[in-house]
Amino acid sequence: MELRSFHELSNYTNIYSLSTFDIKSKRGCVINTCKNVHRLWCSKEGEVKLVKLNFPRIYADTEILGNAGMCWKSMLVTCIICRNRNNTFSMNLYIRRADDVTGMTEHSFAQDLDFVPYKVYMRDLDDELIIFLGGSDCRLHLYKADFEYLSPVVSGPLESLTRDDELIQHQAPVMAMHTQRNITFILIGIACQNGDTKLLKYSHNKQWNKEASWHVILDGPISGLLLFKLEAGISDLLVASAVGYAVVYRDVAQEGLARKNIIPCTQDAITCVVTSDIDFDGQREIILGTYNQTVCCYKLKGNVFELIWSKTFPQPIMSICELDINRDGIFELIVVTMYGISVFSPDFEAALEKLRNIKNSLDKAI
């Protein structure tokens, strides 16, 4: 991986959150410090730019605790959780045209909160924009939004989720969650501050019926959780701990949390996780960011994850994502540290060799 560009953030702080958006015309990231929200995107000329976004109800004394972003119905939706003046808390939702890089909000809503929000996650479920919010009350709150409202989920097909105590009620604050949609079912992974980790499997039809659930207690606060696929058609679960280890549960849709591979200890707090096929062999590698200023990449060889690549930064790693930000067909690796954002490009020679091999295979098949 080679450094393509670096973008300095003006407010130095260890509170960051990163979310990605993917629309027909462009892709990018939304990154926040405790005071500002920025959008990283690529111009038509191929230049990666960082612009500051302006939002209603975000004032000079507002502390931004996190954000979630996604494209929904050709609109860019940004959800920001805040500590406001007088020590009150709120969740603000902003909807704007996805092709507007200046940040002009067309619709905005605010939801006052009676708890401290920690993590926010958005997902399109059954064509509805659903927001999952975890906080100090150890509950997972569900909200739904549209162009005209933002309100808790109290009716409709998703109402059954709000009555599922395994999903909603926890013994500690929710620190990470992820969902994965499959053809006939949906997986929801949840991890808490006390190491409590749950995996829930729901049938995907007009009603949300829980087919199975699994539960495990791990050491230390969970800092990252990700549902992904090492092999086509097989769902895996990656869980990382702030005390310096990570574990991959294999084929979780069928075997739950019974089959696992331990990733070698990093000897430092893991802050974030992502998967990406950085060597273009068709299999995703696991990438961990640490507070010890290191990004580590692991590859499954046989039944063991081996370290194949690492890079040290001047500051702790706060967030990582993969994104084809310039839409050239090759994913970049975006690393957010305490002082800025680094965009890394992969080995283009390796990518070209992969394309040659694919072409040769297709030529032989004809």
- The CA distance from 306 to 309, in Å, is 9
pLDDT value, residue 322: 92
Mean per-residue pLDDT, 35-60? 86
User: What ranges make up the beta strands (E) of 128-267?
Assistant: 128-135, 140-145, 150-152, 174-181, 185-192, 196-204, 208-217, 222-231, 234-241, 246-249, 260-263
pTM: 0.90
| 78: nearest Cα among 94, 66, 59 | 94
Contact 343, 4 (CB under 8 A): yes
pLDDT in tens, 96-135: 876 655 555 678 899 999 999 999 999 988 788 999 999 9
User: Does 11 score more than 60 pLDDT?
Assistant: no
Percent of the chain residues past pLDDT 70, beyond the cut: 94
Which pLDDT band, with edges at 50, 70 and 90, does 363 fall under?
confident
User: Does 85 score more than 90 pLDDT?
Assistant: no
pLDDT, averaged across the chain: 87
CA distances from 127 to 80, 144, 179 (A): 21, 11, 15
User: Does 220 score more than 90 pLDDT?
Assistant: no
Residue type, position 221, single letter: P
User: Does 14 score more than 60 pLDDT?
Assistant: no
User: Does 180 score more than 80 pLDDT?
Assistant: yes
| CA of residue 294 relative to chain centroid, distance | 19
pLDDT value, residue 122: 92
- Please enumerate in sequence order all residues whose Cβ is within 8 A of that of 280, keeping only pairs 6 or more positions apart, or say none: 346, 350, 351, 353, 354
Which pLDDT band, with edges at 50, 70 and 90, does 264 fall under?
confident
- The CA distance from 154 to 159, in Å, is 6
Most confident of 9-13, 94-98, 313-317: 313-317
pLDDT in tens, 144-169: 988 888 899 988 888 889 999 999 99
Contact 78, 70 (CB under 8 A): no
User: Does 207 score more than 80 pLDDT?
Assistant: no
